[in-house]
Structures are given as structure tokens and as C-alpha cells.
Chains A and B, each alone.
Chain A
Amino acid sequence: MLLSMCNICKSFSGIPVLQDVSFDLNPGEVHILAGENGAGKTTLIKILAGVHTDYHGEIEMDGRKVRFASPHDAARKGISVIHQEMSLVGSLPVIDNVFLGREMRRWFSAGLLVDRARQMTKAQELCAWLGLDLDLNRPVDDYPLSIKNRIEIAKALAFDARILIMDEPTSALSEPEVERLFQVIAELKRRGKAILYITHRMEEIYRIGDRITVLRDGRWIGTAPARELADAELIRWMIGRELATHFPAGSKEHGDERLRVEHFSVAQPGASTAQTERWLVKDVSFAIRAGEVLGIAGLQGSGNGVLLEGLFGAWPKAVMGDVYLDGKPLSLRSPHASIQQGLAHVTSDRKGTGLILGFDIAQNISLASLEAISPWGFLRKKKEEEMAARQVQSLSIRGAALTQEVQNLSGGNQQKVMLGKWIETSPRVFLLDEPTRGIDVGAKHEIYELIQRWKADGIAIVLITSELQELIGLADRILVMHRGQISREFSREQATQEKILRAAMGEAWIN
């Protein structure tokens, strides 16, 4: 056995994220690490890669106890991570990237001079067997994503890595590129490398996996050879037993059609529709009525979050398709225009894009509706305070003064401030992306109640949440997205966690 991790425990500020997790790797195998979003997969690989150093439990390599002090230390001991986000320096030549941080030195130079000739020979050798025909002196950014991916692998091999960690390596690749990567993985296996592979895609699990380990809520659920673990069983492992959570009952009566989306596509944010080769959302159509909650399920990278951003006008140049609000065409030219037309969007990243952390509660709540409280451009502080006080009361934001900076608030209160900001814009369509992420159970329940209240007020709600139970409990209808497209639609009655997860992982591939 090449590597074994035993009883790994890790917590962040008192909250356990991993409890007694064990995992091992043999040379020449692909070991799949599976689990829903938030199951603890990323934390586990970060421990293995030397990013998190304060964990409990033991790691052994070749039977000897090891403890990685830093990512550099882990790399020196033979562990390499192929990142979801590339860890290459785009402006540097390929050759310098491959040896970055571990340049080959000339023996006589006291470690000062780089032995370019030797590096070149080694790099050419690596590229040859990875099937890369590159000009090694050109900057990495000259090459497309799929090539970059393999340059990362070359980098790992140049470090003599024996364990490669691949965290969703195919999420940004097209089908033929994925094929090419799988050939490389087969070759790596043949050479005795061990691969820890994280993926949300069913077809990949069964295509390349030798063994599968499933994590759920930070615990080890099971490890089994891929051949012996049927997909139904795998999904049961990932979901677990149903926890009885009470969801408030909402009205089943819906009003007229509020939002209609036809053949809607979103290119990579920042790119424009004319030049993109890759669509994050492709040809999506749906409609939603007033007072209806439409759930959009999908695993990371499925494009559901990008779909909401696109509908909100966050990427005006990257979207294609027709959107109608109450029968009239909706202009997606900017968030400002969308707000005025009656859309609101709660982002999934409340600290990064949802709130201004240095602003106080009142300033955050009023931010999207300042025009309403500033006649002639003069901001009426009194009206702002009234507005904030109204939301603080209606959303029960407790234990906080209006003048408190939101960075000092609890996650639940921050989330409510964000919701309050959007309610003040009197939206007709509310796009909610992970409205309950990272908040405690009590606050979650309050947000469920709020969703029902908005529903009763006739607001159309599009809801994304990675907690399937929550999705089924709140949504009237559920669309499932896989690789940017809608793969299934369920009514609330039809939907089960198994069916949704299957569709989200791309069931078409396993039948």
C-alpha cells in the first residue's frame, strides 16, 4: 500500500468537517472520492496536499508515518495536485512552469544557475509520452485549457509525483479532451502512479475508477471496488437515510406565467457569445408562474448558478436567448436594468459578491434601492434607517444594531441582510442561489418560512440549493442540470433524492 490515511479528523472553528475518515491508495489504481457538495472531499485532499496541517489522525506513506508541513513538503514527498483552478503561471513559458519551484541546477553554480538544457530534455521526454507537441518556450496562456491540464500533469511528473490528486479535472474539458485525459490516466496507472480522483460525473466513476470511497457529512461511509458497487447503492451511500425535517407547507395555487426563458445559453463569464467555444449553460428553456418555487438542481459545475447570473444580467455579453417577464421581453444589459424590471438575485457567495462587508446593516440593505430614498440625489438617512429597521424587524435580524458592520454578524444574520436588501427592491422574480449555505438550522428554518411568505405574495422564485432535501421540501417543480443542460424535470411529488442525484450525475451515461 502506497498511502493510508487513518481516522482523520478536522474541524474549522469548532465545527467538525471530517470525523474519523480513512482512505488508502495502492500503486497503479484510480481511487474515486465521491460525495455531495460539502461532504468533506476538498478538506480531505487539502490535508493530503499539505494545505491544512492541523488535523488529527495519521497518514502513512510506504508504511512510514508522515505529516506534511506545507504544500511544498507534500510535493517533495511525492504528492501532486492537479487543480480545478489551474496552478500555472500563464505568462511564463511552459518549460518554466513545469519546473517552477524545483528548477534543475547546474552543479557548479552553488544552486544559482538553472540547467536549461537538462530541463529541456526532461520536459520533452514528459511531453512526448503525454502526447503533447508544444513549443516549450511559449507562454502557457497561448494554449487552450485542455493542454494546460496536461501541462499540469507534466509538472506533477517532473516533481516525481507518485500520487496525483485530480479534483474534477474534466469540468472544463470537452468530450474529446476528456477522452485524451483518460488515455493519459491509463498510462499513469501503467507506470504505477496512484490517482485520487474526485468527480461528480457518474460516467467517469465507472469508466476509470478502480475503487470508490464515499464521504457524507464529513464521515467515511464506505469503500468498495467499483465493479462491485452498483450505481443505485453508490447513490444511497451518498445520500444516506432521510432525515425528517419539517418544511412549512406552501400554497399550491399559482398565478399567471411570470418568467419565460427560451433557448437560453451562457458563455464563460467574461467571454462574449461570438468567440466562445464552451458554454456553461446551453439551450435552456423553462417557465415559471407567480407564486411558484422552481428548484434547479445540479452539482458543482453544472451551470445552474451561472444560469441565474445570466438571467440577472450579470454577463450581458455572454448570454444568448430570449427571456420574457410577464409576457414582455426582458433586457439583460446590466444588473441595474434587471433590478428595475423586477428581478432580484441572491448570490451564493455572500462575502465575495453578496454583501459589502465594511458597510453597516443599513447601508447594505439600502444599496439596491438607493434611488427610491434619494430625491434629487440627496440620500435621506432617515428613510434609509426606516427601511433597514423594517427589514431587521420583518426578517428578525437579532442582536445587532443597524450601525454594525456586516462583517461582524453571524452567517445567518448576514444572509438575512442580503435577503432584506433584495426584498426592498420589491422584486417580481427572486433568484435565490444557495440561500441557506453556511448558516445554522434555526436560521435555515426562518428562511424556509420567508420563502413561503414571498410565495404567498406572488413572487416567482427560482431556487438553487445543494441540499436535496431542502430542494424537494421547498420547490413546486424541480429542473435538474447536468453539464449546462436540463437533463430532467420532476414535479414535487415525483422527486426523490435518488432520482435527482442520478439525473444530476448524468444518468444517460450509465443506462
Chain B
Amino acid sequence: MSDRVDLAQSAAPGRIFDSPWIRALSALLFVFLLGIVFHADGAFFQWGTHRDMLRQISVIGMLACGMTLVIITAGIDLAVGSILGLNAVLFAMLSLRLSWPPLLALGACLMTGIACGAISGTVIARFKMQPFIATLAMMVFARGLAKSISGGEKVSGAVAQPDGSYAYVDLPRIFQAIDHKVAGGNVAVVTLIFLGCILVCWVLLAKLRWGRYIYAVGANEEAARLSGVPVNLVKLLAYSLSGAFAALAGICQAIQEQQGDPEAGATYELSAIAMVVIGGTSLMGGRGRIAFTLIGTLTIGYLEKILSINAVSEASRLILTGIIIVAAVLLQRKSR
């Protein structure tokens, strides 16, 4: 909650792991050292490797931003992967098939994401349903909606003609603008968008009154309510923002793939939760930072990148990732 070091804890000597910063960074450092050791013939020392890693984690990282807000309120949002898929399809439909102006399509998708989040938030806040159940329902619902509007097919610029050939729609400019690298080809635009999401969350959590409310609701909902915190609105805000970030991620995904895949984003919600938790944000709520989520995102990103440049098979990659997540979370718990 605050940058200031807790007095009681810092007074105890030799408890360096008591700082959540150190704990979060140590996991990242460990993975980074793995990369230096297993550098795959110097591939790890090329900036291109890091740039690609950053590009690859950006979409899930956006989901992790919203997930952080929700988890700090002591909730969980399982629907983000499906909302991503829904908006990937929706954006592809609107911009490729219906030729909507890009900004209009973007706005419509964001509103859809917010609406999905707001529905989850309302069910959780107003009707006191458990976040796990409510967002599980939204996860299934949004995936169904994605399949329904796309007819179960990938929505791309290639349109089947009656004679069996394909006509290709010109990709709108926004596709090039976002699927693009800036700063001499060294940074992907989606990475900048992801960092923008981190910044938005940071401003909210660290600078705004509503950010404080988010922590208060997660730490002690009843005490917060009795202190005049509008608990229901706070939850609504957290889930709506999570929906908005998921929609943004869906748009980026559609642009990168140049199509809207109704299956896009499946299981991404689990990766996003892993990123938040590895950073050290507590699932109990009330504690955590967006910076930890950034660290957690990088940790998972590097882990997967290092495993893939060393040509570790996907099966082994999953097994190792699972082990690392448990180890990292145990590390978090140790001094709590």
C-alpha cells in the first residue's frame, strides 16, 4: 500500500525477504539468471529476444492489469479470457466486415468489455454472488456470444466468394499502426499499450481516492462499509475496468492475428492470475501493487521465452511453469 517500509518489520535484522519488493524481484532475477546460463548460443543476449518476449506477454499482461484490481478487492475474474475472445471477434467483424471507422469500432469494443465486466460486478456486488461463480458464468456466456456472432468461424479479411475463391479486404490503417514496432524497430506498439495499462492502474491504485477504496474493500469489507466506502460501486468499478482491459487486449489480439478468433484467449485468465500472484499480490485481497504485476508478468514472460529459445518441448514447458508458480508463491508466503 505504501512505499514506506514498515517499521516493525524493518527493525528485525536479517529479514530481507520481508520486503515484498525483494521477494517479487528475486523470482524475476532467478529466471533472468537462468536465461544468462541457458542463453541458447547467445540468443538471450540479443535485444530482439527481449523485444519479442515483451510483445508476446503484452496481451496477457493487459488482462493481468485488470485482474490485479479485482484481486485486490479480494475477488477474481475468470471471464477475462472470454471477453478477450468476444472482442477480438467483434473488432474483426466491425472493422473488416462492416468497415466501421477504426475509432468507432474500438469504442464499441471497449463498451462491450465494460458492459461484460459491469454485469459480473453487479451480480457480485448487488446480489452477493461469489466472484468465482459469477465470473465463471460470464466466462461461459462471453465465449458463447463470441461463437454466436462469428458463427464459430475465424473472422478475417478473407471473404469467401460465391465461386469459391476469396476476396481480400484491405486491412484498415489501425492494423498497421498497432501491429508495428517503434523506436527503430526496438519496441512493439502493443508493449506500449500494455505499459499504458500499467500506468493507468498505477494512477488509480496509488493516486486516486477510488484506488484507496479498492484496497479498503479487499482488506476488510465490513470496516470499509462502516467507514462510508461505497463498497458496491468499488466492486463494480474493479470488474468494469477488468472488462475494459480485456476488451483492449482482444482488439490487440485481433490486430496481431489479423483476424478475430472466437477461441482466442482461452485459458489466458489463468496465466493472468499466475502473473498477479507471482508478483506477490495476495488472493486474500487488500494487499498488492500494479508494479508487482509488471514484475510477475516479466517473470512468466522470461521463463517461457527462455524455455522456448532452448527448444524445450511444450509439454516440459508447461510442467516447469507449473512448478515455478508453486515455488514462487511459497516464497511469497514464507515470511507472512
Contacts and interface: CB of A to CB of B under 8 A. Distances in A.
A370 B219 CA distance: 17
B208 A335 contact: no
Contacts of A379: 207-209, 211-212
A477 interface: no
Interface stretch (B4-12, B239-247, B311-319): B4-12
Contacts of B226: 312, 314, 335, 345, 347, 353-354
Given A354-B223, A358-B287, A359-B219, A370 B1 contact: no
Contacts of A179: none
A23 to B, nearest CB: 37
Contacts of A14: none
B328 to A, nearest CB: 22
A360 B208 contact: no
A195 B48 CA distance: 79
A367 B227 contact: yes
Given A359-B219, A378-B208, A379-B207, A336 B230 contact: yes
A352 B225 CA distance: 12
B207 A378 contact: yes
A-B pairs with lowest CB-CB distance, top 10: A374-B209, A336-B228, A403-B4, A339-B228, A368-B227, A367-B227, A408-B8, A356-B219, A356-B220, A353-B222
Contacts of A356: 216, 219-220, 223-224, 286
Given A356-B220, A404-B8, A370 B287 contact: no
A167 B2 CA distance: 44
Interface in A364-404: 367-368, 370-371, 374, 377-379, 401, 403-404
A404 B6 CA distance: 6
Interface size class for chain B? 20 to 34
Contacts of B208: 374, 377-379
A46 B8 CA distance: 33
A13 B198 CA distance: 45
Nearest to B225: A335
Given A354-B223, A359-B215, A363-B212, A405 B6 contact: yes
Contacts of B220: 352-353, 355-357
Contacts of B5: 403
Contact of A403 (B2, B207, B210, B213): B2
B229 interface: yes
A421 interface: yes
Contacts, number: 90
A408 B8 CA distance: 7
A405 B215 CA distance: 14
Interface string B179-215: 0000000000000000000000000000111111101
B227 A335 contact: yes
B15 to A, nearest CB: 15
B1 A358 contact: yes
Contact of B7 (A347, A359, A401): A401
A314 B211 CA distance: 23
B1 A363 contact: yes
Nearest to A375: B209
29 contacts: A334-B228, A335-B228, A336-B229, A336-B230, A340-B228, A352-B220, A352-B223, A353-B220, A353-B222, A353-B223, A353-B226, A356-B216, A356-B220, A357-B220, A358-B286, A359-B215, A359-B216, A360-B1, A360-B4, A363-B212, A368-B227, A370-B209, A371-B209, A378-B209, A379-B208, A379-B209, A404-B7, A405-B6, A421-B227
B209 A367 contact: no
A352 to B, nearest CB: 7
Contacts of B224: 356, 367
Contacts of A340: 228
Contacts of A358: 1, 219, 286-287
A196 B184 CA distance: 83
Given A356-B286, A360-B2, A377 B209 contact: yes
Of the listed residues A334, A354, A359, the one surrounded by the most CB atoms of chain B closer than 10 A to its CB is A359
Interface string A395-428: 0000001011100100000000000010000000
A368 B8 contact: no
A368 B226 CA distance: 9
A372 to B, nearest CB: 10
Interface in A423-470: none
A351 to B, nearest CB: 9
Nearest to A366: B212
Nearest to A404: B7
B212 to A, nearest CB: 6
A421 B216 CA distance: 14
